Every structure is written in C-alpha cells, then in structure tokens.
C-alpha cells in the first residue's frame, strides 16, 4: 500500500474514533460509556422530565397543571437555581414530584475532571437536601454529556445516571405543534420497540439569570396536550 493510502486510512480511523467518542459521550441512548437509566419496557409508560429549573416564570404554572391531572413528574434541578428559588424547590418536593441532581452550575462534564464532576454533584446534592429535605438518587448530566469517569463518580455517590429517549427540542424556539411532533415521533418509535418513554423537557434554561428567565410557555402548552392523551400512563422516576 502506498504511504498516501496508509495516511488516508489512518486519518479516517482517527475521524471514526473521534466520532465514536462523541457518540458515546453525547448521544442520549448510547450505553457505550456505561449504563444509564432511560425507560422500562411498558410502552404505555411515559416519564415527563423537566430540566434546568426551578424558574419562577414557568415552574408554578407547570406544578398547577400537573396537579390538575394528578400526575407526578421528575425535575432535574440546577443547584444555582435552587439557591435562587428555594421555596420553589421545596414546593416541587412537597407536591410529590421526583427531584434529580442536574449539577450546581451546568458544566459540560464530558470535558470536566473527576474532581470537578464530584464537586458539581456534591454541591448540588447538599443544597437540594438542605433546601427540600430530599436527597436525590437520580442524576442527569447537563447536555447529556458524560464520559466513563462521569458515570463512575455519580455511582460512587449513589446517584443513578438518567438519560432520555424522547427529545422534544423545546430549548429551541419551536411552536407547540413542533414540540408535539418531536414527542410523537420518538414516543411512537419507542412504542414500536416495546419500550416506555422518557421525555426530555425544560421548565427553565441553564442560561437563566435573575434578570432574564426563559419562557417555557410552549413546553407547558405541549405538556397540557400530552396530559389529555388517552392510553398513556405518566410516571415519576
């Protein structure tokens, strides 16, 4: 083989490896970097999960909506937002929803050292426990980004890593119809495979500041529509 062909092969192998690492570290349903919890095998089961909260602009209305339907959801809270809005975090716990750890400051853990990951999880864990009285047992990595060390650190802290298998993409400026279409596509695929669904939604943004909070009105409207659907059983994780 001539050296150019060898070099070209080497290059594509490197590109493949890099692509594989990115897939393993970012793709929500990939299990290459270790097991993460996603969903059970009851196709009618749907877990509504809301990341990045709490937010005074969206969380109270969402809690009212869920209460009207007697449905419990899972909230992956950011420590910094719990510190800002402790009464909202307490209300989520008091109303019987599951609370998970979404780190203190929402870094990309794929690129973080084990020490940083540990500190991010430990600080958030302590704050949620002190604020709500609930010690989370679930952890969702920000952006879904993790590497094998991320999962080891979480497990050593008795935190189960949780990903998702339905991507609503509600962090983009999408219409209610577009959010619903994303959900229907992924839930339909899960049901055809005989799987339950775990829907990634947001009642806040990791970019929220006290001065500027993201509106999640369309997420709430999409949630309201889903809750009216017959044949679905909503579960908290």
**Is there binding between residue 208 and Zn ion (CB under 5 A)?**
no
Report 107-126 residues binding Zn ion (CB under 5 A): none
Catalytic residue among 97, 102, 202, 206: 202
**Is there binding between residue 51 and Zn ion (CB under 5 A)?**
yes
User: How far is Cα 53 from Cα 140, in angstroms, rounded to an integer?
Assistant: 13
Beta partners for residue 233, in sequence order: 45
**Is there binding between residue 43 and Zn ion (CB under 5 A)?**
no
Instruction: Respond yes or no on whether the N-terminal peptide bond of residue 75 is cis (omega within 30° of 0).
Output: no
| Ramachandran region, residue 34 (left: φ > 0; alpha: ψ -120 to 50; beta: rest) | left
**Is there binding between residue 170 and Zn ion (CB under 5 A)?**
no
Comparison of 201 and 220: residue with beta carbon closer to Zn ion: 201
Among 79, 142, 144, 196, binds Zn ion (CB under 5 A): 142
Comparison of 51 and 120: residue with beta carbon closer to Zn ion: 51
**Is there binding between residue 203 and Zn ion (CB under 5 A)?**
no
Count of residues in the chain: 237
Stretch that binds Zn ion, among 20-28, 33-41, 138-146, 157-165 (CB under 5 A): 138-146
Count of chain residues binding Zn ion (CB under 5 A): 4
Residue nearest to Zn ion (CB): 51
Q: How many CB atoms lie within 10 A of CB 129?
A: 14
Site string for Zn ion, 71-110 (x = CB under 5 A): ----------------------------------------
Residue with tokens 């005989």: 194
151 exposure class (CB count in 10 Å sphere: 0-12, 13-18, 19+): buried
**Annotation says 51 is catalytic:** yes
Give rounded-to-5 percent helix, strand, coil for the chain: 45, 15, 40
Comparison of 80 and 160: residue with beta carbon closer to Zn ion: 80
User: How far is Cα 206 from Cα 11, in angstroms, rounded to an integer?
Assistant: 36
Q: How far is CA 177 from the centre of its chain?
A: 21
Min dist CB 163 to Zn ion, Å, is 12
Whole-angstrom CA distances from 100 to 28, 87, 128, 140, 174 are 17, 17, 9, 7, 26
Stretch that binds Zn ion, among 18-26, 34-42, 124-132, 142-150 (CB under 5 A): 142-150
**Annotation says 186 is catalytic:** no
**Binding interface with Zn ion (CB under 5 A):** 51-52, 142, 206
Report, as residue numbers or ranges, the catalytic residues.
Answer: 51, 202
């Amino acid at each position: 083989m001539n050296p150019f062909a060898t070099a070209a092969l080497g290059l594509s192998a490197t590109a493949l490896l890099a692509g594989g690492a990115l897939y393993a570290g970012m793709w929500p349903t990939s299990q290459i970097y270790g097991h993460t919890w996603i969903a059970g095998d009851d196709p009618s089961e749907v877990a509504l999960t809301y990341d990045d909260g709490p937010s005074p602009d969206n969380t109270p209305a969402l809690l009212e909506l869920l209460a009207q339907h007697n449905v419990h959801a899972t909230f992956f809270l950011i420590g910094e937002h719990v510190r800002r809005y402790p009464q909202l975090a307490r209300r989520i716990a008091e109303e019987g929803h599951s609370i998970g750890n979404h780190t203190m400051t929402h870094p990309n853990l794929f690129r973080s050292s084990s020490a940083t990951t540990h500190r991010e999880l430990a600080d958030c864990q302590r704050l949620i426990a002190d604020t709500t009285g609930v010690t989370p047992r679930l952890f969702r990595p920000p952006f879904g980004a993790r590497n094998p060390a991320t999962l080891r650190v979480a497990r050593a802290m008795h935190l189960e890593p949780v990903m998702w298998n339905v991507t609503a993409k509600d962090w983009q400026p999408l219409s209610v119809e577009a959010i619903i279409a994303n959900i229907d596509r992924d839930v339909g695929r899960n049901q055809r495979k005989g799987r339950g669904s775990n829907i990634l939604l947001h009642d806040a943004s990791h970019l929220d500041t006290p001065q500027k909070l993201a509106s999640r009105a369309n997420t709430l409207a999409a949630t309201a529509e889903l809750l009216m659907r017959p044949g679905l059983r909503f579960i908290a994780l």
